[in-house]
Each structure stands twice: as C-alpha cells, then as structure tokens.
Amino acid sequence: MKETEGASRGSRVPDKLYEGYVFDLDGTIYLGDELLPGAKRMVEKIREHGKRVVFLSNNPTKGLKDYVEKLTRLGLPTPEDDIVNTVVTATEYLLQNHPDATVYPISEEPLKVALSEAGIRMSEEPSEIDIVIASYDRGFEYKKLQIAFDAIWFHKRAWLMMTNPDRYCPFPGGRGEPDAAAIVGAIEGCTGERCRVNVGKPSPVMLETIEKMLGLDAKDCVMTGDRLYTEIRMAKDAGMPSVVVLTGETKAEDLESEPPENLPEFVLDRIDKLIPPGIWKESGWTENDG
C-alpha cells in the first residue's frame, strides 16, 4: 500500500520501523519540562534498532548545546548531530545554495556563531550585503532595520530570507513574545519587498536539509509532530510519511473537520505507538508502563 493512501482520522499504527525518525519537540517529545508518556522508551527502542532519530525546532535563539542539555536532563541523552533547529537549517541552506554570499543576520548570537564557524561572510555595510536574514532577535533595534532597508531598498542588492515564520513564541500561562515574523514584517513594511526564503517549519527547506544530513530519502523517514500546519504540512509537501500525536496542540476533534489532504498517515494518542505492535509484544510493553 502506498503511504499516501493511509490518510486517516483513526488509530491505525505503523506496522514497520522506518530508517529515519524526525520529531518535533514541544508537545511531541516533551511538554514544558517533562517527557511525554512513552517518549523515552520509544526513542531508545528506535536507536536500539539502529535507526536515526532527529529532533527539530524552529527556535533560532538557542544553540544545539541548549537542546542537548535539556534532553539529557530529562533522561534522553542526545548528541548535537541529532538536533536541527533553524540555526542549522539557515547555515546549511546558505552553504548549499549561496556559499559566497555576504549576509546580514538580524539575530541573536547562536546564528552568528554558526555562520561564522561555517565560513559564511557577514557584514553590516549595506552596499556589500547580498542577503538579509530576519530572525527571532530580542536585540532588534532601528539601526538594524536601517541597514536592512539600505541593503534591500537603496542599494537594490540584497534580498530577504527568514529563519522561521512564527509570529510569536508561546510562553506558559498564555503569554508570549514577538518572534521572527515581527522582524520580517518590519523589513517588508519599509522596503515593499517580500521575504523570499523560509528555512523553518513548514518550509520543505527544513526537511531537505535533514534528508541531506541523514542521507535518507523522504519516503524512508517519518515525521511526527503535534501541529497539522507546521510539521504535518511540511512532511506532506516533501513526500514524507507523517504522524500527528494528540499530546500537544491538535485534538482528536480537530481532525474531523480537516480535508483528507491535510491529514497525516497516522494519528497516535501516545508517542510510543510509533513502535510497531510486533516490537511492543516482544518487548513486553503495555500502555500502563513506559
């Protein structure tokens, strides 16, 4: 059966292991500061079978070390190579597509450090900037907007890309703070130019970066997340099988009104059901443990 025939609102579970597993983090692997039920044994089982696991985040204000530290603290030790955020995708995208470009990142330190380590040239001189990178930057100020404006509008040289399209970053208790979309909006607003490239979810650029890093085809991997319009949309656009797990944003009733083209192959109430029933059986797992 073709993967795409399986779009389902029901509880069908995967009947095989995939070569690569791509996971959203918040609402999928952990919620706030706790691992979700079954997440630890699920990841351990996938690794035990020699399959690759990659965790994804749109947040460019954290370095990979921050994720390593958090996952390790929660009991899921993970090397940097298994984590991809928009610091990684922005850097990889530039190395693959514009290795000789001079860029101006409107960003916090982790992106600047990664670009510098990758040998990407950075400049604050508008007449020599080829690409302005709008990011989630809590140090954003008028001077940075002026440099972007001069590079794009006055010199008609630079174009705009963004690390991620998120409007705001949610905080516990229903608050939040402006994310990269606010910076994109400011630059688009004054230059009249639209942002050309997004390297965060749901852009397929993010999955393409991962496929290249893993050396795996989209069809041999599976994407799991808690949001239809980010992880699941991105996977479907890239031809990667996808799974929504109902432990975060998406609720079972949300799926009832969705057209079939928005639905993932699998819908799971807990993340360890990604592991095929045969392996559950041989491992002696039940839903009451893990």
Tell me how far apart the alpha carbons of residues 218 and 210 are, in angstroms, rounded to a whole number. 9
Cα dist from 238 to 63, 100, 207, 224, whole Å: 26, 27, 7, 14
Per-residue x/- marks for Mg ion, 180-209, CB under 5 A? ------------------------------
The residue with its CB nearest to Mg ion is 27
DSSP-assigned states of every residue in 214-281: HT--GGGEEEEES-IIIIIHHHHHHT--EEEETTSS--HHHHHTS-GGG--SEEESSGGGGS-HHHHH
Bond prior to 241 in cis (omega within 30° of 0) = no
- Three-state SS at 123: coil
137 counts as binding Mg ion under rule CB under 5 A: no
Nearer to Mg ion, 87 or 228 (CB): 228
Selected from 82, 211, 226, 272, the binder of Mg ion by CB under 5 A is 226
As given in the structure block, the two tokens for residue 169 are: 């970053």
Q: Which is nearer to Mg ion, 170 or 278 (CB)?
A: 170
Cβ proximity to Mg ion: between 25 and 46 the closer is: 25
Nearer to Mg ion, 105 or 166 (CB): 166
Q: Minimum CB separation from Mg ion for residue 231, in Å?
A: 7
Diameter of the chain by CA atoms? 66
Site for Mg ion in 16-45 (CB under 5 A): 24, 26-27
Which string of x and - marks every residue 244-273 that binds Mg ion (by CB under 5 A)? ----x-------------------------
Q: Is the Cβ of residue 139 or residue 173 nearer to Mg ion in the bound state?
A: 173
Minimum CB separation from Mg ion for residue 203, in Å? 16
Choose between 187 and 271: whose C-beta lies nearer to Mg ion: 271
Tell me, what DSSP letter sits at residue 286? -
Q: DSSP label at 141?
A: -
Q: Least Å distance between CB 249 and Mg ion? A: 6
For residue 161, give the nearest of 202, 105, 217 by alpha carbon.
105
Shortest approach of Mg ion to residue 130 CB, angstroms?
33
- The smaller minimum CB distance to Mg ion, of residues 191 and 230, is found at 230
- Give the DSSP H/E element, type plus range, for residue 161: strand 159-162
* Span of 155-163, 173-181, 194-202, 221-229 interacting with Mg ion by CB under 5 A: 221-229
> Cα separation of 177 and 231, whole Å?
22
Tokens of 117: 């380590």
Contacts with Mg ion by CB under 5 A: the residue count is 5
**Distance between CA 282 and CA 37 in Å, rounded?**
20
CB of 24 to Mg ion, least distance (A): 4
For binding to Mg ion (CB under 5 A), which residues are involved?
Answer: 24, 26-27, 226, 248
